Amino acid sequence: MVLKDAQQSGAGEAVLIVQPNRNLTWRQSKWLFLSLASSIALVGLYFYSLGAWLILPFTGLEIVILGIAIYCQSCRVHTRQLISIDETHVRITDSRNQQAEKCFCKAWLRIVQNRDPKGWYPNRLLIGSHGEYIEIGKNLIEEEREILANNLRSAIEGV
């Protein structure tokens, strides 16, 4: 997962961008699908030439499921959270749901790191105030979540 550091966007505002690691571009994802689909189709055609005609519907189903999986993965990696910090407010915007933008007063803001006491589950980084919290950095690994918490604290204190 990729975590972009705080950027100064002018007028005393800091911006943190949290987004997952994008290993493949859309073009690379299409090439991956085409190469895997063609190899699956070749195996299906080979068995069809041997007389196992019943394999063709399952080959088509496998190609469709592969296409859906690659498409869903490509859509998921293009999500990001934008955290804008100005003089008095902290705004959190999720790219999947633009209408769900949350705004918190900076004076009451709390950054909470929930840790699992047994270490079985990943830690959660929550930000909010007055009993309303939002999880940020859900797609980050533990080390990146720690870096995000430190960057967030320094950006809030620095602005």
pTM over 0.75: no
HSE at residue 151, side-chain half, CA atoms within 13 A, is 22
Q: In this predicted structure, what is the pLDDT of residue 9?
A: 52
Phi, psi for 64 (deg, rounded to 5): -65, -45
Q: In this predicted structure, what is the pLDDT of residue 70?
A: 95
User: Which two tokens mark 104?
Assistant: 């918190």
CATH 2.40.50 fits 2-21+79-158, yes or no: no
Q: What is the pLDDT along the chain (159 residues), one digit of tens a residue?
A: 445 544 555 566 788 888 877 778 889 999 999 999 999 999 999 999 999 999 999 999 999 999 999 999 888 887 888 888 888 889 998 887 766 788 998 888 899 988 888 878 888 999 998 889 999 988 888 888 888 888 888 888 875
Beta bridge partners of 128: 110, 133
User: Which two tokens mark 80?
Assistant: 């990001």
Q: In this predicted structure, what is the pLDDT of residue 2?
A: 46
Beta bridge partners of 91: 84, 103
The answer to whether 21 and 1 are in contact (CB under 8 A) is yes
- Domain assignments of the chain as residue spans, ordered by start: 2-21+79-158, 26-76
Residue 46 CA: distances (Å) to CA of 33, 40, 52, 65: 20, 10, 9, 21
